[in-house]
Amino acid sequence: MKKLKKAFTLTELVIVIAVIAILAAVLIPTYTSLVRKANISSDTQLATTFNSLISNATSMQEVVDILDEEGYGIGKLNPTTENCRFVWDAVSKQILFVDENFNVLYNSRTYNLTTGQLWLTVKTPSEVITTNKCQLNYFLTQNSSQNFALTTLSSFDTGKNILKGTLSINSLSMGNATIKGVISTLSLNTPNANISQYGRVDSLNIAATDTHSLYGYAGDLEINSGNLILLQASYVKNLVVKSTAVYVANSGIVDTLTAGQLSLTSANFSNNGGMVTNNTSNLDNEDLQTENFSVNISTLAQLEAFRDSVNGGATYIDVLVKLTDDIVLNDGWVPIGAFARTKVVKGFQGTFDGDRYTISNLNNTGYDATTVALGSNDNSIRDKQEYVYGLFGFVSNAIIKNLNIVSINIDIPTGALVYGDGVAALIGYSFGDLQLENIVIGTTTDQSKIKAFDGVAGLVGRTYGLSTDIAQITISSCVNNAQVQAGEKAGGFVGSPADAKLTFLNSDNYGVITIVGNGTVRNWAVACGFVSQTNDCEFVFTNCESNGNLSVQSLNGQTEGWTIQTQDFVYVSKTLNQNKNKITSTSCTENNIKTINGVVQQED
């Protein structure tokens, strides 16, 4: 007879469980410790690699850009070791690897936690932390609609992202902090602190401050207590002074000044070279204006402040904005007027005088238009959206003169879900009249290039006239040296105008103009030395030269049924009202100024 196997007794089972528990108590911490040590070793090596790349970075944005260019996404700034963090010290210019108590596990240079400027990347408010060892500052790594509430005096930078929620700082600490980026609402109660604000804030409420210095744009600004310093390139749409415990020193632009029932004096508001457009306070209007007022820009930060003001809605109509030094742009330039192509917004409407200075390193590397500047129309690529791009994205009735733009690398791929239509080094899209004088795009040796899908050029991507009148476009003493490439229409000076009279004086194109088409929309392929395909326009060319090579290529080798044109100056297509199209040329080096379908023309 087969014997049955004997099972564990209850006592034996208890003993086995106890042994397993003892082994687990001994081995699991050992295993956990080994895993942690391995993670610390891996994260230390990663921090070492990071520091070899970012040793010369001067801002958290540069750190992020450099690591991204090297193939390290923003997620890599979160170590694998639990409760540990990478922080960037702006003083010693290194990434520190720290544990949950901010004990430094790795550093590559001498550091001081108490005097350093430590930056921590965050995506959500839950990642904000408080430590007694040091002051932490925060860099936003993605667009967010959440509210960030800080109870310590901290700097905050949205980088290239947008905070659509509220940033509030409530702290009695003494010291300095900086706010940068695009923020919907900023609320401050920092009576002992000095705050420097750059970028754009739509609504700014200052309950109390020692000194708040505004370098950028504020839409609705209310201040109850403290000193408000409005710097040269600052712009406030609506300024409300809520008590006589406020002192404002204005060197920028205040569109509307309001004080309610308060009686303000010079002890509350001083116009230090600035201007107030609309004054509803009791202050004398003559005390709020500066004769021959201009906005002078000498640094990248000031240029960005001017840009942020325009993007917030400031038009600078009848205002002179003047460059007073050369400026090198950071990668991923956000255009001045980052708007979709529409006739609703106005963009920049003033005068921009470069005073013969140079802006360099204009490129779209890392620029994300998806949150601010997208649009579409009947001619857009199916299921895609388009945006305009340039130093200026959008202008209206503007004057721009005496400016050099060099080292240009604008490359907007057509294959993405968003693409470039109305792209140029100077202006993506112009609505209404436009005057351009003494503008030089690229040099003969810097290999500047501008590449997008349609309406691509050296100076202006697209121009449109008013609904009741044609636009008057004057381009004088301008030179394009940049290579221009499009999928449909490209020109040395203007990509595609409509409803305009364009006058060219003493201007020369040396850039190579190329169409590389794939028949995405209309099977157009038009490459011209000055102006690509246009409708309902009149042209005057005086003493101009067209010296750039022109070419048309097809990606798939098929061009049957395409409209293909290469003209040294301009190509005008047939319209219902041909009398609107005229071409006059005088003292030009080439006579290849042609039209088709019998459109009126005059040639030398």
Strand partners, 199: none
The predicted pLDDT at position 598 comes to 34
DSSP, residue by residue, 140-170: E-S-B-S-EEESS---EEEEEEEEEEEEEEE
Measured distance CA(68)–CA(9) in Å, rounded = 62
Over its C-alpha atoms, the chain yields an Rg (Å, rounded) of: 30
- Find out whether 224 and 258 touch, Cβ atoms under 8 Å: no
Measured distance CA(190)–CA(561) in Å, rounded = 67
Residue type present at position 583: I
How is residue 189 written in tokens?
Answer: 């109660």
The total of other beta-carbon atoms located within 10 Å of residue 332's CB is: 14
Measured distance CA(299)–CA(17) in Å, rounded = 72
Helices (runs of H) and strands (runs of E) counted in the chain: 3, 43
pLDDT digits (tens, 9 = 90+) for 310-322: 998 899 999 999 9
Closest CA to 519 of 485, 570, 553: 553
The predicted pLDDT at position 603 comes to 41
* Continuous H helices in 412-489: none
How is residue 120 written in tokens?
Answer: 């921590």
DSSP designation for 557: S
Q: E strand or H helix at 17, and its extent? A: helix 10-53
pLDDT digits (tens, 9 = 90+) for 17-76: 766 766 656 655 654 555 567 778 888 898 898 999 988 888 898 898 888 888 887 777
Measured distance CA(530)–CA(508) in Å, rounded = 8
Relative to beta strand 460-464, strand 494-505 is: parallel
- Find out whether 255 and 238 touch, Cβ atoms under 8 Å: yes
The predicted pLDDT at position 519 comes to 60
How many residues would you count in the chain? Answer: 604
Q: E strand or H helix at 65, and its extent? A: helix 60-69
3-state secondary structure 291-314: CCCEEEECCHHHHHHHHHHHHHCC
Measured distance CA(166)–CA(299) in Å, rounded = 29
- Find out whether 221 and 202 touch, Cβ atoms under 8 Å: no
CA 119 to centroid of chain Cα atoms = 22
- Find out whether 215 and 197 touch, Cβ atoms under 8 Å: yes
The predicted pLDDT at position 590 comes to 54
- Find out whether 569 and 528 touch, Cβ atoms under 8 Å: yes
Measured distance CA(206)–CA(226) in Å, rounded = 9
Q: Give the CA dihedral 81, 84, 89, 95, nearest 10 degrees.
A: 0
- Find out whether 440 and 468 touch, Cβ atoms under 8 Å: no
The predicted pLDDT at position 595 comes to 43
DSSP designation for 77: G
Residues with Cβ within 8 Å of residue 457, at least 6 apart in sequence: 423, 424, 450, 480, 484, 490, 491, 492, 493, 494, 495, 532
429 backbone φψ class: left, alpha, beta (φ>0; ψ -120 to 50): beta
Measured distance CA(570)–CA(494) in Å, rounded = 10
118-138 CB burial, b ≥16 within 10 A, e <16: bbbbbbeeeebeeeeebbbbb
Question: What 3-state DSSP class applies to 197?
Answer: strand
How is residue 429 written in tokens?
Answer: 């899209």
Query: What does residue 40 show for φ and ψ, rounded to 5 degrees?
Result: -60, -40
The predicted pLDDT at position 39 comes to 79
48 backbone φψ class: left, alpha, beta (φ>0; ψ -120 to 50): alpha
How is residue 600 written in tokens?
Answer: 């009126």
Burial class of residue 139, CB neighbours in 10 A (0-12, 13-18, 19+) = buried
The total of other beta-carbon atoms located within 10 Å of residue 564's CB is: 14
Longest dimension (CA), the chain: 122
Residue type present at position 61: Q
Mean pLDDT by 10 residues, the chain (604 residues): 59 69 60 66 88 88 86 79 90 91 90 88 91 88 94 93 95 94 96 95 97 95 97 93 94 92 88 90 82 91 92 91 96 90 80 98 90 77 86 96 98 85 95 96 95 95 81 96 93 91 93 81 78 82 88 66 68 52 68 42 40
Q: Where are the domains of the chain?
A: 143-288, 326-566
